[in-house]
Chains A and B, each alone.
Chain A
C-alpha cells in the first residue's frame, strides 16, 4: 500500500518546504521495488557533505524538520520515511536486517556515491550503526541521538518499550489506539509545540497506518533467541572497528534511551564524543536545535590534525609534599576551626595513605570517578589526595551550587563511587544523583587499617591522566563540569607558588573550600575558617581572626562576598591578621572599597585579586596598590597576565575563527597556558566552541570581554553574553557600572540591555547604600548616574533591594535575568 503523500499546504503548515517532499521508486535487495517518501533538501555546495537522517519509531522524516531548516545550506539533507512508516510504502512488518539493507537500497537509488554523514535517532540509530558496519566505505561519520545497540550492563531494556511490546498491551497500545504515537511527544524533555505534535502523528491516524509502528516494536528483541538480537549483537561487535568520527547528542531526560545508553555507546567507538543536553529528552533533535552540533561534527572531521602534546616532562605529583619527616611530625598540617580539630603532618600523611588503601580495597581503580560528598574539613582534603594518589578522578561539587545544582553536577559526571558520610551517600542514591554508584562511607575509611602514604604499593597515575572534575558556578547558565589532568593541576600549583612567592614557611587560611585543597599540594600549613561554605557571606571577622590565630597565618584566601562580610562584622583591628602578608580574593569582581577597608584591618598585607575562572586560574593578577596606581579606565583592571599565561583579545564578530584585535580594542578574552583545564565534561559542542586552535595551540575562550592597554594590562568589561547591542554597536556593561558606582549613594550597579539585539536600550539598576527600594530611581539619582555614564544614553535608572547574584560567590550578577526582568518592568506589563 502506498499512502498519499501530504499536500503542499500540510507540509508548509508543518514548517517543511513542500519542494523537499518527493517519492522515489527503490529497487529492493529482495527484488521488489518499493515506493519511499523522502524529504530531500538540496545543498548549495557540491563539495559539502550529504547528511542522511534516519528516524526511529513511532516518528517519520518530520523528526528532522529542524535540522532540515537549520543545517548549513551548503549541505544536502535527505530524510526518508522508513518502509511501513510515515508516507513510504506500507509493506507490513520489517525486520532489523531488512531495514539495514533497505537503507543501502535507498542510498544506491539516490545515487549517493561519496560517503555520507548518518544522523539518526532511536531505532534509526541502530539501523545507522548496522549500515555503518556493513558499508563503512559509504559512511563519513555518525551523529547519534538517544539510541542504542545493546542494553547497557547492569540494567534492563527500556521499561517503556518492554511495556509497549508486552503481550496484551502491544497491539492495543501501538496499533489499535494512537497511545504510542500520541504519547511519545509527551515523554519528559523540553515541550514540543502543538504543530510538532500534530505533524508527528499525521501519518498514523488510522490503525491500519499504525501497522508499521506495531511491527517496529515487535522487532525489539527481549530474549537472546530473538533473531534481531543476534544481528544487533553482531553489529555491536563491529562498532569498534569503525574509524569514522561518532558524535553523540543526548537528551538526558529520556526514560527510554537514557544516559546509560550514551555511556554504553561511548565505550564502543574508536573516535567518539558526547554532548549531553540536560533539559532535553527522547526527541532532543526536535526539542532543540542540533544543527550546530552536526555542523561542528562535520567541521571537526575535516579540520587538520589537532595539536600535538609534546609534554613528556615528568611532574612533581600533587601529593609529594605530604610527608612525615622527623622535623615536622608534631607540627600542625591542617587546622579546621569549624570542627575545632587539627592534624599533624604525620597524621595527615597517614590518613591519606589509609584512605587511599581503603578506597583501593573497596574497588576504586585508576581512572574511576569518585564523587567526594564530604563536608569541608580535614577528611575532605584527605579523601581528595587519596583519590589522586591511586589515580581516581575526584568529582568535587561544592554546596555553593545549591542542592539541585549539586545533584545535576554529580549526575552529569556519572561517578562510579560516592564517598561521604552515610546521609550523603544515601542521598546520592535516593535522589538518583548516582543510583548505580558504589557508596563508600567516610566512617569505614576512618576505621580502615592504617597505611603510611609513602608505603603504598599502588602504581600512581601518569601525568596526563585525569585528576579532577570541578564545576563552574552556573552564574551564567547551567553548571558545567571541567576536566583537569594531574599535569594541569600541578602547573596550577606551581603558577600560584611562583606568583605569590609561596615558601614552606607560609601558613594559609582558606575561606573557600576548593582552595583549601591546594594547601597540602603547596606544602604549607592550611587552616579552614568556621563558616557556612554554601554562603560565603557568613564569614565573620571573628571567625577569620580565629582561623588565622590557630596557625599563625601568613596568607588568606576568601571570596569577595566573604571579605565584604568580614569588613561588615569587624569591630576593630584583628590581631591575628597582623602577620598576614598576603590576602587573595577571586571568583568574582572585588569592589575596591572592600579592598581598601580590608587593608585597614591588615595593614601589612598585600591585597591581590587574581583573575581567572574555573576553567583556567590564574590568568592575571593585580594588587590593591597596583589598582589604585592604574586609575580609572574602561572596565576593571585585572592586571598583567601571569607569566606563562598568554592572553589574546579576539574579535567577537569573527565567528568561530580566532582573530586578534589591536591593543586597546575590546574583544573576547582568550587564553592559553599549561594550567588550563582539558575541557568540558560530556559537553562536546560546548568544548568545540570554547577551545579554538590557533598557531597549533589550543586556546580557551573565557566568555569575558575586555581589552589590553598599552602597558599590557588586562581590563575586563563584562561577559560576551552580557554585551548590550545598541544601534551604535556593542556596549560593555562594566565601564558603565564602574561609572555608576562612582556616584554617591550607589553601592553596586548593573547595566543591562533591553529590547531586540541591535536596537537595545541601556538600563542601569542600582543597589543603594541607604534603605533600598524597588522602583524608579529618584530624579536626582537618575540624573547623576546619567551624567556619570555620559556619553552613553541610559533609558532608565532603577533601584532594587537585591541584584540577582550567583549562589557560590554572591557577587556575579546575572545580567541576562536582570535584563529580562527590566524588559518586563519597562514594558508597562507589570501594571
Chain B
C-alpha cells in the first residue's frame, strides 16, 4: 500500500510513517521541512496550503493520513484557518483527483470540547461557533468538512487522539518536566479531575488500524472516533507519574480554577505581544486540567478492532527508561 502522510514532523505522525515503512508500506511524507525519517520513506517538502503540491504528492497513493495542522494558541484566525481548514480541503481534493478511496483525518477531542466534563462519552459531533479558540474552531470545521466528504467512492474516518504522550514528546511531557525542573509547576484546582491519555505507541497503532480499516463500505466511514488508553487517572497522578519518570521533583503550586481561567484570559491576549513561544496557561488548558475527560472505548474496539497494547504503567516505565538513557 502506498500512503501519503501529511504533518510527519510531529511525534505521532512521524511515528505512524515509520511504523508503516517498517511493515513494508510505501510511504510519502509531506511537510514543510526535511525530517530525519527512516530510510525508504519518500519526503516531499511543501505546504498543505498549496493545493497543487498536495495533489502532486498524493499521486499514485492508495490512502492519505492527514495530520498536518497548526496547533497552540498563537496566531491569527487566518493562520489557523488556512492550514487546518484549507489544508484539509486540499487533501480531500487531492484524494478525489487521484482516485484515492481512503483518508484518515487526524482530529482532536477538543473539537467537541464544551468546557464541561466529558465522562464515558463517545465522539460527540464537532461544535462550531466558539469565540477566540482558533485551534479548536478550525479543527472542528476541518473535521466537519472531512466527514462530509465521505461518500461511496471516498471513505473518510476522523481520529481524535486524546493527550498523546511518551518518550520524545515535547508537548505534554516536555513542558511538565521543564516547569517542574524550574520549580514552576502549576496545578489547576486540586488535580482531582479524571483524565484519559494516550501512550504514543497506542496512538500510532490506532492510526494504523484506522488506515487499514477505512474503506467505503466500512462501518467507520464518515465517523469520528476518540482514541485513548482507556485508563483515566486524576490529573495529579498523571503529572506526578511523568515527574517521577523524569526524575524531577513533583511540587506543584495550586491555582484555583477561577483564578486560572482569569489569568488564562489575560495571558492569551498579552503573551504574544511580549513573549515568544506558547504561554504557560490559557483558558483552554485551565479547562482541560480541571474537568474530567474520559471516553467510551467500545466504538474503536468494535468498529476498528483496535485496543491499546501498552498500559499506562508500562508507558511510565518506558518513559523512565528513556529519561534514564538520555541522561
Binding site for B on A (CB under 8 A): 727, 754-756, 758-761, 775-776, 779, 782, 793, 795-796, 823, 825-831
Contacts and interface: CB of A to CB of B under 8 A. Distances in A.
A827 B194 CA distance: 6
Contact of A727 (B119, B232, B297): B297
A825 B193 CA distance: 7
A726 B240 CA distance: 26
Contacts of A795: 194, 231-233
Given A755-B120, A755-B294, A761-B194, A826 B256 contact: no
Contact of A826 (B230, B234, B296): B234
A759 B256 CA distance: 30
Contacts of A775: 190, 192
Contacts, number: 78
22 contacts: A727-B230, A727-B297, A754-B194, A756-B119, A756-B296, A759-B120, A759-B296, A759-B297, A775-B190, A776-B191, A776-B234, A776-B236, A776-B237, A795-B194, A796-B194, A826-B192, A826-B292, A831-B189, A831-B190, A831-B257, A831-B258, A831-B290
B194 A793 contact: no
Contact of A779 (B190, B240, B290, B294): B240
A827 to B, nearest CB: 4
Contact of A828 (B192, B256, B297): B192
A827 B295 CA distance: 13
A595 B121 CA distance: 44
Contact of A827 (B257, B258, B291): B291
Interface residues of B, number: 31
B117 interface: yes
B291 A755 contact: no
A796 B235 CA distance: 11
Interface in B222-260: 230-237, 240, 256-258
10 tightest Cβ-Cβ pairs between the two chains A and B: A828-B193, A755-B120, A759-B120, A826-B194, A827-B117, A827-B292, A756-B120, A828-B291, A759-B296, A828-B290
Interface string B74-118: 000000000000000000000000000000000000000000010
A817 to B, nearest CB: 18
A828 B298 CA distance: 24
Given A760-B120, A831-B256, A776 B192 contact: yes
A827 B119 contact: yes
Contact of A829 (B191, B233, B291, B298): B291
Contacts of A776: 191-192, 234, 236-237
Contacts of A758: 296, 298
Given A796-B234, A828-B189, 10 more contacts: A755-B120, A758-B296, A775-B190, A779-B237, A779-B240, A795-B233, A828-B193, A828-B257, A831-B257, A831-B258
Contacts of B235: 828
Nearest to B118: A827
Nearest to A795: B232
Given A828-B290, A828-B291, A831-B257, A759 B234 contact: no
Q: Which of B120, B240, B294, B301 has the most CB of A within 10 A?
A: B120
B233 A755 contact: no
A826 B235 CA distance: 10
A830 B193 CA distance: 9
Contact of A830 (B192, B236, B240): B192
Q: Which of A758, A782, A827 has the most CB of B within 10 A?
A: A827
A831 B233 CA distance: 17
A244 B192 CA distance: 58
Contacts of A828: 117, 189, 192-194, 235, 257, 290-292
Contacts of A779: 237, 240
A775 B231 CA distance: 20
Contacts of B294: 755, 761
Interface in B154-168: none
Given A827-B194, A830-B192, A755 B119 contact: yes
Given A826-B193, A828-B290, A796 B120 contact: no
